[in-house]
Structure 1
């Protein structure tokens, strides 16, 4: 904040709007300082938007995990200005659902000041947070530089924006937003996302229905195999969850609870191995018992369709609940389905060429 203040103070171009830097305390004591400012300070009435800086870990990338409410122009400001974007609407909806037992000053400014804002936070190495190891020397200068680049760029964009003068005019729904490998942020209105989600779901059900309506016994056999494979997939999830819980219980009984938290590879070996082993076991068992005469290629196609079906059900449910996080199952359905259809068309196209060449050769 001091470096951003220093940079703004040395700008040659006059700012269109004022900037208040609020260094407040008492956050962990029921957010008293932010509440006192937004409800009692005379400057609070002049604030039209805010950027809240948080830390739920030490270093790493600072992620945008809350925006708004219902101010898509703020998301667009971040999209247009951030040098190193890292954002996801999934974090926003998970955090605001109350699943994570935590809170930030963002809620105070939003609920008591009716002010839109952006909430950013460091989340890496969360096991150090609020412990005796949470010291300044553990914060990497690269993380501070990255955050400073983003915050300064977004702040410059906002203080020159005409929308900041009367932000209430631009409140029109939520935004779906997510970054692609930290290079660019994709953002579009939630209502557009709803239409897109239902279109993808409809295309998936048409694709599956076409297979189920094959002539003769092929359609009925496909439906039975699809239902059985879906049951196997769900059973594998249940057995995997059960195996992971058993491993966690054994570690707890041995008095080594949470020892893996700062040992990534130990976590992978313990829980990753249990998860992979159980899923492979369930699917291998199903193949040997039920799909004894089915070729591996056909079995792969069947489980591809099962994946589409399950992700599509999740897509429809999340979209019906009005959650912007539905973009995740949408991507998990849209790209595999499009790839499958394009490849099928390509192979069919090549097959037709082959047949023509064979006929021509025979004619000669």
Structure 2
């Protein structure tokens, strides 16, 4: 924040809007400083947008994990201006669901000030957070440089934006947003996302409907095998979950809880291997004792259809609930279905359809994000930038 302040104060470029730099304290004690500012300070009524700087780790990319309320223009500002974007609406919905027992000053400004904002946080190496190892020498300077590049660029964009003065007029609906390999961010209104999701679901319905009603196959046997395969799939998922829970309980009983926390891939091998092994075991039993005479090609195509059906169910359910993260299920359905169409000989005979949907799945680790703050330092201007420091 001090470096951004220095750059802005020495720049020859004039800003259309002023900027407030707010250094908060007393966050661990029910977010008192931010609450005091937004409810009592005379400058609070001038604020039109804010950027909240968080940290639940000491390095890596700073993740945009919250935006809102209803701020398509603010997401577009980040998409346009950020030099090294890293954002995911999945993180926003996970954090705001209350699953993670944590809170940030973002909520105070959003709920008590009704101000749109962006919440960014470092999440890498979160295992040292609030421990004796949480020292300044562990902070990665390249991460600070990266964050500074992004924050300065976005702040300059907002400070020269025409929308900032009347930001309340642009608070209409939520946005689906996610970055692609950190190169750029894809963002579109949630209502557009709902249309896309339902179109994908309809494509699955048409595809499976043709399978069930086409005369060249014995649809009775296929329907029976499909339903049995669906049951086998659900059973394999359930038993995998039970196996993972058994391992977790065992590790806790021997006093090694979270022993894998500072080595994330250990948890992948520990729990992931057990889950995959259980799924393979269940399907192997089904192949040996139920689908004895079925060919591998037939089984492969049938379980492909089952996978589409299950993920399409998740897609419809999440979209109906109004969750922007339903785009993940849409990708899991659209890409396999498109691949199937492109390689199918009937499809090649009757024409081609060109459609590209881009998404990269990520593991999102969001750790406890409450912080300690230092004393208040203010400059009277109406964009608010505030940071959580140790």
TM-score between both structures, scaled by the size of structure 2: 0.87
Q: Kindly tell me: are residues 70 and 264 of structure 1, through their superposed partners in 2, closer, same or farther at Cα, counting changes over 3 Å?
A: closer
Q: Which residue of 2 is the match for residue 85 of structure 1?
A: 85
Q: Which residue of 1 is the match for residue 112 of structure 2?
A: 112
Unaligned runs of 5+ in 2: 351-390
Deviation at 1:272, TM superposition (A): 2.1
Aligned length: 350
CA distance in 2, matches of 1:60, 1:53: 14
Q: Which residue of 1 is the match for residue 174 of structure 2?
A: 174
Deviating above 3 A after TM superposition, structure 1's stretches of 4 or more consecutive aligned residues are 345-350
CA distance in 2, matches of 1:217, 1:184: 46
Structure 1 residues 311-358: Cα deviation after superposition (integer angstroms, max 9, x where no partner) = 1000000111111111110111111111111111478549xxxxxxxx
- Structure number with greater Rg is 1
CA distance in 2, matches of 1:86, 1:308: 29
CA distance in 2, matches of 1:89, 1:222: 39
Q: How does 1:98-247 map to 2 (within 5 A)?
A: 98-215=98-215, 218-247=218-247
Q: Which residue of 1 is the match for residue 25 of structure 2?
A: 25
Q: Which moved more, 1:301-310 or 1:209-218?
A: 209-218
Q: Which residue of 1 is the match for residue 35 of structure 2?
A: 35
Deviation at 1:197, TM superposition (A): 0.7
CA distance in 1, matches of 2:220, 2:324: 36
Unaligned runs of 5+ in 1: 351-364
Q: Which residue of 1 is the match for residue 317 of structure 2?
A: 317
Deviation at 1:79, TM superposition (A): 0.4
Deviation at 1:13, TM superposition (A): 1.3
Q: Which moved more, 1:319-328 or 1:215-224?
A: 215-224
Structure 1 residues 40-81: Cα deviation after superposition (integer angstroms, max 9, x where no partner) = 111111110000000112211111111111110000000001
- Indicate if the aligned counterparts of 2:342 and 2:348 stay in contact, CA closer than 8 A: no
TM-score between both structures, scaled by the size of structure 1: 0.93
CA distance in 2, matches of 1:195, 1:5: 43
Q: How does 1:2-21 map to 2 (within 5 A)?
A: 2-21=2-21
- Indicate if the aligned counterparts of 2:341 and 2:347 stay in contact, CA closer than 8 A: no
Q: Which residue of 1 is the match for residue 380 of structure 2?
A: none
- Name which structure has the greater RCO, CA cutoff 8 Å, separation 6+: 2
Q: Which residue of 2 is the match for residue 255 of structure 1?
A: 255
Aligned alpha-carbon RMSD (Å): 1.5
Q: Which residue of 2 is the match for residue 54 of structure 1?
A: 54
Structure 1 residues 271-321: Cα deviation after superposition (integer angstroms, max 9, x where no partner) = 122112111111111111111111212211111111111110000001111
CA distance in 2, matches of 1:74, 1:163: 9
